[in-house]
Chains A and B, each alone.
Chain A
Amino acid sequence: MTTDQAKFILQAYRPDQEAANLPELKEALNLMEENESLQKWFEEEQAFDNAFAEKLSNIDIPKGLSELVLKQVIAKPGKPIEFPWWKQFSAWGAAASILLVLGLVLIPGRRVPLQESMMTIENFQQFANQALKNVEGFGASSNDWGKLVEYLNENNTPAPTTLPGSMDQMPTVGCMTLKFKENPVGVICFGKNSKSHLFVIRSQDFPLLPTAEQPIFEENPFTTTGYWSGKDKHYLVVSQDPQDLRQFVSF
């Protein structure tokens, strides 16, 4: 074994670890015992390793992360209510021609590329996060939930019928139609500064998804998510402004 070969092996050696069973490492360690310059080089390596390891140990941990992890598993349920304007919604059916006058801007729906995997709540969340990062612009813009629901229905896309708390009182901004595994997904963006987004899918399109009769909210350092099920739909809300959401929905 040459000195360079020994260095290559010793470079990966951490003295507090038991890896000496590797014959090459044993040979390199033996060589080091007899070679002062190699010993000095190894001391410098250790100093470098310790200095670099200290940098990683100084990575800041988000405040409250452990509490949020615990909350995630022991989530607090909220209380859903029927979406009040839905019962009146049939009246909107004849008003489609007026929508443009009321300020709707229609843009064709688009697709979000997705990995193929079994559908779980986590997949649904991943899809939503991916969509929020990659999709821009609305299929329709309006500050009225009803108009956005009308647009989604007209485009054969699931629209909300069951919302928790007073979510339907929050101002809307726009909506869009997406596809998840070839199935339609309705999205309504709402809340102050449009920082909350409601994703709606049909239960029949995703039969493996669990039914959550009570909304389950999860908070993490950057977003709050809520998942619940209605009669024939599953819902996921993703909010980057939990304080705004909290004013209308208790969780």
Chain B
Amino acid sequence: MESHINITAELNFEDLVSTYYQPLYRFAYSLARNAEEAADLTQQTFLIWAKKGSTLKDKTKVKSWLFTTLYREFLGIRRKSSRFPHINAEAIEHELPTISPNVVSKIDSKRAVDALNEIDEAFRAPLVLFYLKDLAYKEIAEILDIPIGTVMSRLSRGKAQLKKILNKPKKNIP
């Protein structure tokens, strides 16, 4: 269920934290796969809001702002150790592996996050945001700074990779 905050009223920090800390943490955990780092990223996001949030003129974009900030913080940490793979948009393969929902229902959240972590970095963030169901396509596009069409393309390719990973024997997923 998507959570909302009354953006017509003056934004209250406690309300903001109460409304968004859970989806932000889940986003962070899905990216970092580490509870400590996810908690740090969540805290850091709200700390940055406390310092800079007043500069956001369009308060309807507070949710996108928070997710964008968290994502940038995550990228800042990761950028030191690795660069994103180059994506050739023309090289999309229409490979559509099938997987039964029953297979998914048998795995736990940790294995779901582990599987997401095996997906190419460029596809992982849109897919996580897609499955968290907190954001519209337009918002996902804003956060990732890519057109909506590219979001859709990455979602589709990411899902194809996810299904392949989930179809692998369990021992292949660390």
Q: Name the CB-closest residue of B to A46.
A: B101
Q: How far is the CA of A44 from the CA of B98 in the complex (A)?
A: 9
Q: How far is the CB of B132 from chain A (nearest CB, A)?
A: 6
Q: How far is the CA of A44 from the CA of B159 in the complex (A)?
A: 13
Cβ–Cβ contact B152 & A9, under 8 A: yes
Q: Mark A33-63, 1 if CB is under 8 A from B, else 0.
A: 0000000000010011111110111111110
Q: How far is the CA of A12 from the CA of B156 in the complex (A)?
A: 5
Q: Assuming the A-B contacts A8-B92, A61-B22, A66-B17, are A56 and B160 also in contact, with contact meaning beta carbons closer than 8 angstroms in the complex?
A: no
Q: Mark B64-94, 1 if CB is under 8 A from A, else 0.
A: 0000000000001101100000000000101
Flag whether A70 is at the interface (Cβ < 8 A): yes
Q: Assuming the A-B contacts A11-B160, A12-B152, A69-B43, are A55 and B112 also in contact, with contact meaning beta carbons closer than 8 angstroms in the complex?
A: yes
Given A22-B149, A53-B133, 14 other A-B residues pairs in contact with their CB atoms under 8 A? A8-B92, A12-B159, A14-B137, A17-B137, A18-B137, A22-B148, A47-B101, A49-B131, A52-B104, A52-B162, A61-B25, A61-B26, A73-B47, A220-B43
Q: Which residues of B contact A4 (CB under 8 A)?
A: 94, 96
Please report B residues at the A interface, Cβ cutoff 8 Å.
13-14, 17-18, 21-22, 25-26, 29-30, 35-36, 39-40, 42-44, 46-47, 50, 76-77, 79-80, 92, 94, 96, 98-101, 104-105, 107-109, 112-113, 128, 130-133, 136-137, 148-149, 151-153, 155-156, 159-160, 162-163
Q: Assuming the A-B contacts A52-B131, A53-B133, A56-B112, are A72 and B47 also in contact, with contact meaning beta carbons closer than 8 angstroms in the complex?
A: yes
Q: Which residues of B contact A61 (CB under 8 A)?
A: 21-22, 25-26
Q: Name the CB-closest residue of A to B147.
A: A22
Q: Mark A139-174, 1 if CB is under 8 A from B, else 0.
A: 000000000000000000000000000000000000
Q: How far is the CB of B92 from chain A (nearest CB, A)?
A: 7
Flag whether A97 is at the interface (Cβ < 8 A): no
Q: How far is the CA of A14 from the CA of B136 in the complex (A)?
A: 9
Q: Which residues of B contact A220 (CB under 8 A)?
A: 39-40, 43
Q: Which residues of B contact A11 (CB under 8 A)?
A: 96, 155-156, 159-160
Cβ–Cβ contact B30 & A65, under 8 A: no
Q: How many A-B residue pairs have CB under 8 A?
A: 136
Cβ–Cβ contact A122 & B44, under 8 A: yes
Residues 24-38 of A at the B interface (beta carbon under 8 Å): 24-25
Q: Assuming the A-B contacts A12-B155, A69-B17, A220-B43, are A59 and B26 also in contact, with contact meaning beta carbons closer than 8 angstroms in the complex?
A: yes
Q: Which residues of A contact B132 (CB under 8 A)?
A: 53, 56-57
Q: Which of B29, B42, B77, B98 has the most CB of A within 10 A?
A: B42
Cβ–Cβ contact B94 & A12, under 8 A: no
Q: How far is the CA of A56 from the CA of B13 in the complex (A)?
A: 25
Flag whether A88 is at the interface (Cβ < 8 A): no
Q: How far is the CA of A113 from the CA of B43 in the complex (A)?
A: 24
Cβ–Cβ contact A222 & B36, under 8 A: yes
Q: Which residues of B contact A60 (CB under 8 A)?
A: 109
Contact of A12 among B35, B112, B130 (CB under 8 A): B130
Flag whether A221 is at the interface (Cβ < 8 A): yes
Q: Name the CB-closest residue of A to B79.
A: A115
Q: Which residues of B contact A126 (CB under 8 A)?
A: 77
Q: How far is the CA of A115 from the CA of B77 in the complex (A)?
A: 9
Q: Name the CB-closest residue of A to B159.
A: A11
